């Protein structure tokens, strides 16, 4: 019996949230991002994030800007948008970008 190697080309790669958080070197930022992603389905403010941390608001915001390139409130917005996009894709069967591309000319 001959074994043959057949290369399979990936069509899409999905990044899991747990993988994303683990790649953040700063433990304070990683902890805050993890909290934001878990709490993004509910109303969430920067003060809510700070209340879970043992660090000042100013210092955590500085760390966010250094590590992620944006402040805490922007990460909250980003997490909400990502959640909404996944919800949209699950119910429409396609991404918002693909939906716009398909149906933009029909509007």
Domain ranges, ordered by start, for the chain = 18-106
Predicted local distance difference test score (pLDDT) of residue 60? 97
Residue 11: the pLDDT is 61
93 φ/ψ sector (left φ>0, alpha ψ -120 to 50, else beta): left
Tens of pLDDT, residues 19-48: 455 588 999 999 999 999 999 888 999 999
Longest distance between any two alpha carbons in the chain, whole Å = 66
**Which residues does 73 contact at the CB level (< 8 Å), separation at least 6?**
46
Q: 18-106 has which CATH code? A: 1.10.10
pLDDT tens for 36-95 read 999 988 899 999 999 999 999 999 999 999 999 999 999 999 999 998 888 888 988 988
């Amino acid at each position: 019996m001959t074994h043959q190697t057949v290369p399979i080309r990936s069509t899409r790669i999905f990044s899991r949230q747990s993988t994303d958080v683990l790649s953040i070197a700063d433990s304070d930022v990683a902890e805050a991002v993890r909290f934001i992603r878990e709490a993004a389905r509910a109303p969430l403010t920067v003060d809510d994030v700070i209340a879970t941390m043992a660090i000042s608001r100013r210092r955590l915001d500085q760390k966010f800007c250094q590590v992620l390139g944006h402040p805490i409130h922007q990460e909250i917005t980003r997490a909400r948008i990502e959640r909404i996009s996944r919800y949209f894709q699950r119910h429409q069967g396609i991404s918002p970008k693909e939906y716009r591309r398909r149906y933009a000319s029909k509007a």
